[in-house]
Amino acid sequence: MDWIVITGLLASGVRFAMPILFAALGETVGQRAGVLNVGLEGIMLVGAFLAVVVAMQTGTPWGGLAAAIAGGTAMGLLHGVFCVRLKVDQIVAGIALILLGLGLSGFGYRLVTAGGAPGQVPGFQRLNLGPLSDLPFLGPVLFSHPAPVYLGLACAVALAWGLSRTGIGLGIRAVGENPKAADAAGIDVDRVRMAACAFGGAMAGVGGAFLSTAQLAGFVENMVSGRGFIAIACVVFARWNPLGAVAVALAFGIAEAAQIRLQTLYPGVPYQAFVLLPYVLALVGLVSAARTVHLPSALARPYRKD
């Protein structure tokens, strides 16, 4: 029985981790380029909303995922216009993005449903990988998840390689560490940062889409519930390493899965005490990382040519 509980906890933890992981991977690239986006929460909400609406219209969750990517990219570019082109404060722009995403997703969903009950949302189903899915312990934990889970893990590996081994990755890191030197070397700092903003928005949109079409199969106002902020904590705790972000996101996912099970095991304890578990973990991680962390030197600093 203990192994069954552990297996179920880890399998659920993987799925709970994916919205955080997608957003964290996009934010890793953005922060590496020197752009801090605290508005991930709003982008994820818009992605979750678009994924549900378009999936219902097209009959496939892949259509919803594509819409979430488009919506997330648009919001990421909007953030880039204000922070990169207009040089406004990145924290203020991010907060405005949260409010915009909250308003757009909530009003849009009420407009689409017209106050009635929404229809059935086509969601991502777990893949059946044959003998691999039937393996004891490893099967449910590693080989019985929806397709976006494996796309997210592949993306983390690709980003880890790309940021450290390619010219594009070197340019992104140079822009985030020393934009003046990068500019002198012929790199268009604003263009790289705009591209990073677009990518970060797209990934946050995918995180929202996973939440509404693979994890919950529906949309609820403010359903992201702080996952965007946890994704930012994940980036810092992972030291801006995509593979580290996978490990940290899994820790948050397992913590979220654990708090749901703890509510069942201890009904006499107020459920709010267990709901706080992932957020307490995020605070502890940030405090422990703050002493040794090395921020990208130009993070949250607009670049102005002399």
pLDDT at 118: 67
Q: Apex CA 56: angle with CA 55 and CA 57, to 5°? A: 90
pLDDT at 44: 97
Enumerate the domain spans of the chain: 3-123+145-290
Kindly report, residue by residue over 246-293, the tens digit of the pLDDT: 999 998 898 888 887 777 777 777 767 677 777 777 777 666 666 667
CA count, 13 A, side-chain hemisphere, 281: 22
Average pLDDT over every residue of 2-19: 87
Low-confidence winner among 67-71, 82-86, 146-150, 236-240 (lowest mean pLDDT): 236-240
- Fold classification of 3-123+145-290 is ABC transporter involved in vitamin B12 uptake, BtuC (1.10.3470)
Average pLDDT over every residue of 111-127: 80
pLDDT at 213: 94
Instruction: For the chain, give the percent of residues with pLDDT over 70.
Output: 94
Instruction: For the chain, give the percent of residues with pLDDT over 90.
Output: 61
Residue 101 predicted with pLDDT over 70: yes
Average pLDDT over every residue of 209-223: 90
Give residues with Cβ within 8 angstroms of 199, minimum separation 6.
Answer: 26, 29, 30, 76
pTM of the predicted protein model: 0.93
Lookup: tokens for 125: 């189903």
pLDDT at 1: 44
Kindly report, residue by residue over 42-97, the tens digit of the pLDDT: 999 999 999 999 999 999 999 999 999 999 999 999 999 999 999 999 999 999 99
Q: What is the mean pLDDT of the chain?
A: 89
